[in-house]
Amino acid sequence: MKKMTLAAIAGLALFGTQAEADTKTVEAALKQALPTIKPDAISESPLKGLYEVVVGARLFYVSEDGRYLMQGSMIDLKSREDLTEKKLADARLGALKKLGTDKMIVFKPKILRHVAYVFTDIDCGYCRKLHSEMDQYLKEGIEIRYLFFPRAGKDSDSYYKAVTVWCAKDRNEALTRAKNGENLARKTCDNPVDEHMELASAMGANGTPMIVTEKGAILPGYVPAPQLTKMMEEKPVALPEAAQDTVEEAKKP
């Protein structure tokens, strides 16, 4: 029994060493082929010979020899689960957490039940509709964390409106005024609008509003408050790891 135990321990140690070596091979190959990419995490995928590489809110698959890079969904045909989406949910939440709420415009409810990240465009009709119903979201206990995604792109009128709102003394009030159609005097300052846009693009945004739930799921378009609550309270088969502490962190003073 003792010999078997020692053999098992040695086998696990060897496996761990090999896995670490393969991870370093993938990391080295990526550094050489794509020097601008800085992986946040590299780990084994469910499919032997493939490694998951997380870069911000993106997920790639790379062969263990570091030669091949792939994008797309990995589906478990037995369980009918999209394994890639689960990992992407974690990656999205990780990227949002890394950005930090100090770089978002937050509307807080009296009693917090849920958190929703909303990529918004000040000139978008449905974005304005969502904002006009802010009281309903807050009544549902949903904290709205706004990020900007001016669809017309950098240096557009919508872009400068977003910068102006961010540079206002009271950002929440300025955002409401801008969404009500008021033309605010243009202001400039250090702002996270470009970071917001880059993150939205990494998540595949092609319209606004784009909602990212506390579970890391993407909901394209406007969703009424009661429906959003219902969707966020539906429990998935497996909750993404990063989703477990999102609301708990929001409750901290």
The residue type of 68 is Y
Question: Is 124 considered catalytic here?
Answer: yes
Nearest residue to 134 (alpha-carbon basis) of 106, 159, 155: 106
Residues of the chain with pLDDT under 70: 1-21, 235-253
Q: What is the pLDDT of residue 234?
A: 82
Candidates 58, 128, 145, 151; catalytic one: 151
In degrees rounded to 5, what are phi and psi of residue 113?
-120, -35
Q: What is the pLDDT of residue 248?
A: 55
Question: Is 113 considered catalytic here?
Answer: no
Mode of pairing for the β-strands spanning 210-213 and 218-220: antiparallel
Question: Is 121 considered catalytic here?
Answer: yes
Residue 202 to residue 221: CA distance in whole angstroms? 17
DSSP letters along 194-215, please? HHHHHHHHHTT--SS-EEEETT
Between helix 157-166 and helix 171-179 the angle, nearest 10°, is 150
User: What predicted TM-score, i.e. pTM, was given to this entire model?
Assistant: 0.79
Q: What is the pLDDT of residue 173?
A: 98
Candidates 92, 124, 128, 145; catalytic one: 124
108, 114 in Cβ contact below 8 A?
A: no
Residue 137 to residue 224: CA distance in whole angstroms? 8
Residue 202 CA neighbour count, 13 Å, CB half? 22
Q: Is the backbone peptide bond immediately before 253 cis, with ω within 30 degrees of 0?
A: no
Candidates 121, 123, 128, 145; catalytic one: 121
Q: What is the pLDDT of residue 220?
A: 93
Question: Is 135 considered catalytic here?
Answer: no
Q: What is the pLDDT of residue 84?
A: 87
The residue type of 122 is I
Q: What is the pLDDT of residue 250?
A: 61
User: Which value, to the nearest 10 degrees, does the dihedral of the CA atoms of residues 136, 137, 138, 142 take?
Assistant: 160
